Structure 1
């Protein structure tokens, strides 16, 4: 997964197609588990690119896009959020959701 820096955020607002952006905080234990699950999914689907954002550096983005808690995987189509996933039930569950957008 690629870490997004605050100065890179604007480029995501202009991208076309499907984007996956994972919001987390480093001290969150659930986020650490979700990160491992996403890494498995990311390695399983060769064409997949998941970007991640440390929410501590993106408070305005969290407010603007109503990110209610972490971990949160957001799925974007043409620069708009189409789905937010807060419950990472299993690797298979996350894989199926991500794969349905590809």
Structure 2
């Protein structure tokens, strides 16, 4: 371990939400990890593909970002996902809201 400079090694108990839903023609399955790490942004993981990103509510306005991160081909799917995340993610950073 002498070859590495440790940047951080944290352990915490976190709140995790698992949610699956359909929008008519596509299914989504996500894990949302609420942590004090990452400046309070929840870690959102697509359970189908393993792709993940840090998201806060204001990030949901950028449908191009959602399309890129989750490799969506249809803008409508990104808009549906943005609508879901705008309701599912906290308006203020997690650590400020839940401490």
Q: Same fold (TM over 0.5)?
A: no
- TM-score normalized by structure 1? 0.28
Structure holding more helix per residue? 1
- TM-score normalized by structure 2? 0.28
